[in-house]
Amino acid sequence: MAPQSTLDIQAARQRASFDPDVLHRVLLAGSKDPDMRKRVAQLISASPAFDKTSKAYLSRPKQIERGLKAARDLFQAVDEHDLDYIEYLEALVSLIDDPIGLNLHEIAFTPVIQAQGSDEQQAEWLPLCYNHAIIGCYLQTELGHGSNVQQLETTATYDTKKDEFVIHSPTISATKWWIGALGILSTHGVVQARLFIGGKDYGPHLFIVQLRSMKDHSLLPGIEAGEIGPKVHGAMSALDNGWARFNNVRIPRKQMLSRFAQVEPSNGGTYVKPPHSKLSYGGMIFIRSQMIGNLSWRLAKAVTISVRYLHMRRQFADPELKPGEEQHGVEKQVISYPAVYMRVIPQLVNTIVFMTAGKDMANLYHAMSAELAGGNTNLLAETHAVSSGLKTYVSSAVVEGCETVRRAMGGHGFLASTGVGRIYATELPSATYEGDNYILNLQVARAALKSFKAFVGSASSDPKDALKNLTASSAYLASLAPPPKLPLSAPTAVKDWQSLSLLQRLLDLRAALTVGRLASLLASGRKFGEMSWECVQVSEAVVEAFLAGRMVEAIGKGGLLTDGAGEREKAVLEKVVTFFLLHRVSHALPSLLEFGILAPSPPLSLSSSTPLKQDAPLEQLRLSLDSVARELLPELVGLTDAFGFSDWELDTTVGNHDGAAYERMLEKAKADEEQNIGSKAEQQRMYREYIRPILERGRKLTGGGGDAKL
């Protein structure tokens, strides 16, 4: 007979009201080949080269070697199975759990040349990139500067006589640092450096620099480089993050990426400025745009493992049953406790919201890139604002979400073999790389202030024109035209709180008035630099309003979450979106009350015998949130199945499809004994050298007690 845990997961799977396979295709809508991911996963998992069983026990050098071996073996698989470029990227980015240096070549080196290189440069360099005749990295961050790109110290001085740039690290703090794939793998790099012509500083620009010999991989003259060392929690141990210093390294003028800005040799070096000063940040915007979708799938893995485990895990008898009614030996499923499911459901919902936002962000980036290719920079500011906001919000939420679902699993969640801790450790640095989240909050707030001031100024004279000029990232400002009559009339029934238009309006007003408060503080004499903490609240409010609008649109006719969905899939996705909005409105209650958007509840009676008024609007909001959570509860395993992960991809002892968690935990502990604590001979040596002396000392102190047990 199957163990209870297997029966529990099977029963949970049967309770889903929709078809997970159909929903899987909805989540992958827009993909030209929705079955490609599963197909490539099966191919990769079948290869012994990508075995996952022993990596937790490897030393740091062996972890680095494992990453390099994975890169080599991946190309062997590409050649053997004739994988195309998209299939190769799927295997690299989605299926090989540990980030390796090759990832940076694909997401940070090649795309920068694609976006910033001239036609001639692309013709020269991209075939080398695509065929991996060279392997590259992106050298931006320095010891002294990361997010503040304008103050990077590495210099690129134009030598008019030799028609070359001289790349130099003038200070210790100019040392390039944290550069993925630089430690050992890369042959070339795109270096972000300050351009100097005739002593004049033109700010950061991008340069292709060869780092290592193509004959023996030794560092070229004038270049010092190495690996920076292990990271927190042992994360990303297969990725060779490196450092580099340049001592007057010369490169040809043609190796400055020059699609937008150029240096011409005439008149001792003539600078041709780009159409927009921030165009050199295009590589960073691309990476941020990719992060949103990638992070959502990492959270999906953590949520899948946790949700499955919490369905098979049972603890304590049902407190609602009377003595004699409980079934002997069968305890209550942990997922059924509100203290558990109200932690897990928000993370599952976030996963689907972030997947949708990731597709939205990718569409916006590609639209911007297409316009930039034609010299149009209109979408640059919008893309920067959206990518900055989503990056800070999604990365913070994913990191917090991974830890939340791990804690919900109780003690077993702390075991490495369960897999959630590994995902958390890998994604933890996303809150700081490609722009520290607190710094990005300032950028989001600045963009929001600019939009707010433009809208208020325009709305006073021509409200229709003001509304017409709003973008997706500033659409929430439409809630101010006409000026709203506050407080709004709040529902007094549970179902009425589930109006998507109402919930969206509440989040829009909260965002608009939060930005308005910041504008008022500035008008009263406060300086922007003194209000970085207020900017965190502004950024969160603005991003949540943006997500609310996009999700309401996604669930509508022709939206990102309805393409290919049947009626049952649409119904469950509408519950997902409703829960997301309700949860965010509940979280925003302090601001909604502060700004008078909602009226506060009447004071509670101090008498313990006076019942709480359940029809009070805010109580109905809470009841509505709990109501939708209970409606989603039987759908949870089906929703995680819709992500489509194989057991090999999840790499967990407790979140496998069949639910046999305890069996796998014990099997793995037995199988890993020698890797974990050494061979029997080594265990005996440790006993003789360390344990026996302690016991012998103890027996002496107690007069030889314990001899009978020998």
CB-based contacts of 381, cutoff 8 Å, min separation 6 = 447
What CATH number has the domain spanning 284-319+331-601+614-638? 1.20.140.10
pTM of the predicted model as reported, rounded to 2 decimal places: 0.92
C-alpha–C-alpha distance, residues 599 and 607, integer Å: 23
Q: How many residues does the chain have?
A: 710
* Contact (CB, 8 A) for 146 and 61: no
pLDDT given for residue 664 in this prediction: 92
150/153: higher pLDDT: 153
Residue 103 confidence (pLDDT) above 80: yes
Summarize pLDDT for 227-284 with one digit per residue, the tens.
999 988 888 888 999 999 999 999 999 999 999 899 999 888 899 988 776 666 666 6
DSSP state of 257: -
**Tens digits of per-residue pLDDT, 62-87?**
989 988 998 999 999 999 999 999 89
Domain edges within the chain: 109-273, 284-319+331-601+614-638, 682-709
- CA–CA gap between residue 152 and residue 140 (Å, rounded): 8
Mean pLDDT of 618-643: 96
pLDDT mean across residues, the chain = 90
How confident is the model at residue 643, as a pLDDT?
96
CA distance 605 to 81: 72
Residues 558-574 have a mean pLDDT of: 93
Phi-psi region of 222 (alpha: psi -120 to 50; beta: other; left: phi over 0): left
**3-class SS of residue 223:** strand
Q: How far is CA 37 from the centre of its chain?
A: 19
Which residue ranges make up the annotated binding site for FAD?
141, 180
Residues 6+ apart with CB under 8 A from 230: 60, 237
What pLDDT, in 10s, does the model give residues 598-630?
999 887 776 666 666 667 899 999 999 999 999
CATH number belonging to the domain at 109-273, selected among 3.90.1150.50, 3.40.980.10, 3.30.465.10, 2.40.110.10 = 2.40.110.10
Residue with structure tokens 């804690």?
Answer: 407
| Catalytic annotation, residues | 434
Q: What angle do CA 320, 324, 329 make, to 5 degrees?
A: 85
Give the largest CA-CA distance in the chain: 97
pLDDT bin (cut points 50, 70, 90) of residue 51 is confident
**Residue pointed to by tokens 């809630």:** 479
Mean pLDDT of 147-175: 93
- Between the alpha carbon of residue 593 and those of residues 195, 480, 545, 615, the distances in Å are 51, 17, 17, 18
Using the 8-state DSSP alphabet, how is residue 1 labeled? -
Q: Are 106 and 91 in contact, with CB atoms under 8 Å apart?
A: no
What separation in angstroms does the CA of 271 have from each of 48, 158, 167, 255, 568? 54, 10, 17, 15, 60
Task: Give the Cα separation of 249 and 210 in Å (integer).
Answer: 10
For 320-340, what is each residue's pLDDT tens digit?
Answer: 665 655 555 578 999 999 999
Lowest-confidence pick of 128-142, 370-384, 545-559: 370-384
Dist CA 78 CA 71 (whole Å): 11
Query: β-strands 164-168, 155-159: how paired?
Result: antiparallel
Binding site, by residue number, is 141, 180
Q: For residue 337, what is the DSSP state?
A: S
Which among 8, 202, 190, 35 has a CA at the least distance from the CA of 114?
A: 190
- The dihedrals phi and psi of 682, each to the nearest 5 degrees, come to -70, -35
Region of poorest pLDDT, from 193-207, 321-335, 480-494, 624-638: 321-335
pLDDT score recorded for residue 320: 67
Spatial distance between the Cα atoms of 472 and 492, rounded to a whole number of angstroms: 31
Task: Return the pLDDT at 45.
Answer: 85
Q: How far apart are CA 241 and CA 181, in angstroms?
A: 6
